[in-house]
Structure 1
Amino acid sequence: MRALPLTLLAMIGLSTAPLALAAPGDDTHRAHLEVQAQASVEVAPDRATLTATLWEKTPPRAAGDSDQGEALQQARQRLEQRTSRLLESLGQAGVSDDRLRAGSVSVQTERLGERQSGDDDNGEQRMRLSVERPITIDVQDLARIPGVVDALFAARVDRLDGISYDVADRDSVEDRALQQALERARAKARLMARTLGTQTGRVLSIEETRSPMFKPMMARAVSAESGGSNASYNPGTISVEAGVVVDWALDDRQR
């Protein structure tokens, strides 16, 4: 028998190699079904954050007057005294020290415009300094909120930014929203496949279209009377949303 040339044998080997490497479970050209789904979970908040600001201001002076040292020091001392009294009142309202954060002191320049006509320095621009300090309160027992608000108003806080409600265990709530979105996607895929006379196979891909989004709620304060202690605070619920896209292979065999 005549032997084949080596070059011909090499060509035969190269031509058959792709057939040997073909994956038996390749889904590239199989029918598939892509489904998008969203879910929303409503939960009751179990904690709240309040942010208040205290400030003290220096007397108005001419804009060109740079001698503000003594007035600024006095304003800071008054601010520190008010801050100490406020923190003490909040402690009496049941807020522990580790749930109170007194922010850094800042100094802002305020332009006041010109003096009124009739003054000796008519037309002169005036300014003053504002010494400010924010106080953040983390309330883990929502029943204490009315007492905390009363303490803030008794201390005559200069600004209260409202009440922001939240949930302590965010991870578990976000997991619930994501799980419900996946379950919704599976139910939709099975319904669509069954209606069209086929059935879903294995999952080809999963993608989050919307990461679980947490939306803390601001307080709605409803007061029956003018007294602060009679106010009730209805936080409502917090909504957490999630979205997914899941791609299934379709099994064309009749069930």
Structure 2
Amino acid sequence: MTRSFRSLSLGAVLLAASALTAPAVLAQETSMAGMHRMQAPPSLNLSAHGEVRLAPDMATITFGVLTEAPTAAAAMRSNAARMNEVIAALRRAGIAERDVQTSGLNLSAQYDYVQNQPPKLRGYQANNRVTVTINDLSRVGTTADAVVAAGVNQIDGISFGLKESGAAEDRARQLAVRALQAKAALYAQALGVPLGGIRSLTESGGYSPRPPQPMYARAEMAMDSGSTPVAAGELTVRIDITGVYDLER
């Protein structure tokens, strides 16, 4: 009697466990089937860009005065005197004070090196660098000539830019969106499915000033051929976008 009762009890427990497990498995399978039915519709992930080309309306020139002297104080005094002449030349050229900014000031010892001998101090070198913004492009060449004649002996480069880039960026955005929509419509037509709404849109790019380009100017250039010729060319404002479109089932 005891063994039969234990067997009956174990069978009842297994039957009850099976009864509890079956609905859980069924519920899980039903849930997974529902998730498959609720999956996001197929989509297109596309990119496009818009570009606007326009002439720059400002220029930036970085130049410097490099002087050497036997002592550090003498090198700095000589450099300051020449830089004051350069600043005065900029004022005469019509450059406003707010458009002139010191971008570097350096003083360093200079040594002569001979093989198998200790370095010998030759003197000191002072270097004062200035970045100038020119808002009238017709004055770029004459300004470069003026500062060289006043004492500048180093010109790092020139870059052209825009005083205000917002309108050009907005135009590039419009062109980019039109290109993206046209591409999406083309893909949907080729696939033979209706194009749905746009799910997301991201943007990158925008206006970035052109890196400085080398510019070589000497005092004799101004004397031989008038003002130094400078060509501003064009700038490109580019907006890149990426969009995800739904495709109707």
Contact 1:40–1:239 at 8 Å: present in 2 too? yes
Match of 1:207 among 182, 202, 211: 202
Q: Which residue of 2 aligns with 1:47?
A: 58
Q: Deviations over 1:207-234 (max 9, x none)?
A: 33x43252516377898993342x3211
Larger Rg: 2
Structure 1 contact 215–240 (Cα < 8 Å) conserved = no
Shift >4 Å, 4+ stretches: 219-225
TM-score, length-scaled by structure 2: 0.74
Residues of 2 paired with 1:166 and 1:188: CA distance? 32
Q: Distance in 1 between matches of 2:248 and 2:75?
A: 77
Q: How many residues align?
A: 217
* 2:67/2:127 contact within 8 Å kept: yes
Question: Aligned pair 1:239/2:236, yes or no?
Answer: yes
Q: Considering fraction of residues, name the structure with more helix.
A: 2
Describe the shift of the 1:102–1:245 C-alpha distance in structure 2 as closer, same or farther (beyond 3 A). Answer: closer
1:43 is displaced (CA, Å) by 1.9
What residue number does 1:100 align with? 100
The 3 A distance-change label for structure 1 pair 110 and 199 is farther
Paired residues of 1:39 and 1:177 also in contact (CA < 8 A): yes
Unaligned runs of 5+ residues in structure 2 are 1-22
Sequence identity (%): 24
Distance 1:80 1:243 in 2: 47
Q: Which blocks of at least 5 consecutive residues in structure 1 are unaligned?
A: 1-10, 60-70, 116-121
User: Are 1:57 and 2:98 counterparts?
Assistant: no
In the superposition, the TM-score normalised over structure 1's length comes to: 0.72
Contact 1:219 1:233 in 2 (8 A): no
State how far apart, in whole Å, the 2-side matches of 1:247 and 1:108 are: 57
2:196, 2:247 within 8 Å by CA — same for their partners in 1? yes
Contact 1:37 / 1:184 at 8 angstroms: preserved in 2?
Answer: yes
Q: Tell me by how many angstroms 1:184 deviates.
A: 0.9
Q: Which has the higher strand share?
A: 1
- CA RMSD after TM alignment: 3.3
